[in-house]
Amino acid sequence: MSGPMLRLALRSLAHHKVRTVVLALCIALVGVLPAAVDGLLDLYRARLEARALSTPLVVGAPGSRSDLLIHALYYRGVVERSIEMKVAMEAGESGLGVPIPIHLEGSVNQYPLVGTTPDYQEFRGIRLAQGHHWPQRLAEAALGAGVARSLDLTVGGTIATDVHKLHDLAGSYPLLLKVTAVLPATGTPDDDAVFVSLHTSWVVTGEGHGHLKIDPEKDFHLVLESKSNHVTASAAVVEAVEVTPENEDSFHFHGDPDQLPITALIIDAKDDEGATILRSRFRRQKDLQTIDSMVELKELLTVVMRAKAILDANSMLVIVATTLLLILIVTLDVKVREREVKTLERIGAPRGFVARLLFTEISIVVLAGGILSYLLAIAAIRFIAEGPLLLP
């Protein structure tokens, strides 16, 4: 391609601005979806694999293995089965690794509420961005960076848990959480989760509760029924339960603590041998299932890739259709520019000059559309990547 040819092509494109811009935009829009999907899939695959690699062994209730993976590693989905806390106790007593229970129920402003132990912080190597300690006391919470940014919360702030049982006549009240720590942004599901102690998460899900002190003399407007040793308060007037130094001791759990539910158990094994022994022990128990995170993730990604293949085929059809339309437009364009073509031929344009000129023009438009498509895809990937992982 010579300089004069390029100049002629650029002049022509600039002269037909609207046509040039519309064509470039069409190409950009056709290309942006497959490019963005490819980029996002690569990004998510890298993130998901990193998470799975750092969490190799997970124990949970029998059932869907992919659901267990998604609950335990990515804090998504509706939990339908749980295991008992005693599984964690036994794993800890074996001395072969550190068990890290995950209790995934409840939410805060739609962000998942994750009950766990302080071992989680060490396991993930989390250095707090704000605050000094991982939540251990009742109603303390550590916010993921995304949650803190989105809700504009810092250490010292408070936030209530979401109410899921709106029609519960027994009364299901949000628990007021005190923010004691904010996690740094890591690009992992931790960014979009709220961490609390296991006790807090059990209180939120109704496994434990406290008692409000009601003085029938002063709080007569809250009293439904008053007997000599028992006062029944109106459920309608309680907006949120706040744990205070005065009522903290009243919170308690009924039943055997070993039987309290957890969603999954992450095993931070001491070594490979410890992991093998624990895996073997858990596999022998029929009411448990053990998953190798990386294996499960690869199976999950295979399904995603099959879906992507359909999308790719669709994109290919759109690209072929666009190319045919482009050919049609160029053919019509040659008709419209017949006079210009004739002039060039008459004053001595070499054979094929007009064809090369048109090809140069198309190449510039396709290149511009491609660059625009790439930039749009990058912008879309950056925008979406800042949000939560796209998991069910």
Partner 1 sequence: MTGSSVSVIDLVHRHVGQQHPVLVDKIAIEAGEKVAIMGPSGCGKTTLLSCIAGILSPSSGEVQVGETRIDQLSDARRRKFRREHIGLVFQEFELLEHIDVMENSFLPLWLDGREPTEEEHAKLIERSRRCGIEDLLHRKPRALSQGERQRAAVCRALMTSPSLILADEPTGSLDRDSGRAVLDLLFEEADLTGATVIVVTHDSTILDGFDRVEALAGSVS
Q: Which of 235, 267, 221 is nearest to 100 (CA)?
A: 267
Give the pairing type, strands 175-182 and 241-242. Answer: parallel
Nearest distance from residue 27's CB to partner 1, in Å?
22
Ranges of H-type helices in 134-287: 145-151, 198-204, 272-284
Q: Considering the rule CB under 8 A, would residue 15 count as an interface residue with partner 1? A: yes
Q: Considering the rule CB under 8 A, would residue 17 count as an interface residue with partner 1? A: no
Could you give phi then psi for residue 106, rounded to 5 degrees? 85, 165
Taking residues 314 to 343 in sequence order and writing x for each that binds partner 1 by CB under 8 A, - otherwise, the string is -------------------------xx-xx
Nearest distance from residue 364's CB to partner 1, in Å?
14
Quote the DSSP letter at residue 237: G
Q: Considering the rule CB under 8 A, would residue 18 count as an interface residue with partner 1? A: no
Q: Considering the rule CB under 8 A, would residue 5 count as an interface residue with partner 1? A: yes
Nearest distance from residue 331's CB to partner 1, in Å?
20
Name the residue nearer to partner 1 (CB basis): 14 or 310. Answer: 14
Q: Which of 319, 334, 344, 378 lies at the binding interface for partner 1 (CB under 8 A)?
A: 344
Which region, judged by CB under 8 A, interacts with partner 1, from 4-12, 18-26, 81-89, 287-295? 4-12
Q: Which of 262, 261, 268 is nearest to 121 (CA)?
A: 268
Name the residue nearer to partner 1 (CB basis): 5 or 384. Answer: 5
Name the residue nearer to partner 1 (CB basis): 3 or 125. Answer: 3
How far from 75 is each of 107, 137, 202, 348, CA to CA, in Å? 11, 22, 16, 71
Q: Considering the rule CB under 8 A, would residue 95 count as an interface residue with partner 1? A: no
Provide the CA 6 distance to its chain's centre, in angstroms.
47
Nearest distance from residue 16's CB to partner 1, in Å?
8
Nearest distance from residue 380's CB to partner 1, in Å?
35
Q: Considering the rule CB under 8 A, would residue 378 count as an interface residue with partner 1? A: no
Nearest distance from residue 347's CB to partner 1, in Å?
6
Q: Which of 59, 106, 64 is nearest to 84 (CA)?
A: 59
Which region, judged by CB under 8 A, interacts with partner 1, from 14-22, 32-40, 249-257, 292-300? 14-22
How far from 10 is each of 298, 344, 354, 362, 372, CA to CA, in Å? 49, 16, 14, 11, 17
CA distance 367 to 377: 15
| C-beta separation of 142 from 106 below 8 A | no
Q: Which of 8, 160, 223, 366 lies at the binding interface for partner 1 (CB under 8 A)?
A: 8
CA distance 4 to 214: 91
Nearest distance from residue 352's CB to partner 1, in Å?
9
Nearest distance from residue 9's CB to partner 1, in Å?
10
CA atoms within 13 A on the CB side of 156: 2
3-class DSSP state for residue 83?
strand
Q: Which of 254, 284, 306, 346 lies at the binding interface for partner 1 (CB under 8 A)?
A: 346
Q: Considering the rule CB under 8 A, would residue 345 count as an interface residue with partner 1? A: yes
CA distance 41 to 112: 23
**Site residues (CB under 8 A) for partner 1, limited to 140-169:** none
Which region, judged by CB under 8 A, interacts with partner 1, from 120-128, 204-212, 224-232, 344-352? 344-352
CA atoms within 13 A on the CB side of 255: 11
> Which helix (H) or strand (E) segment is 268 a member of?
strand 264-269
Name the residue nearer to partner 1 (CB basis): 320 or 336. Answer: 336
Residues that bind partner 1 (CB under 8 A): 2-5, 7-8, 11-12, 14-16, 339-340, 342-351, 353
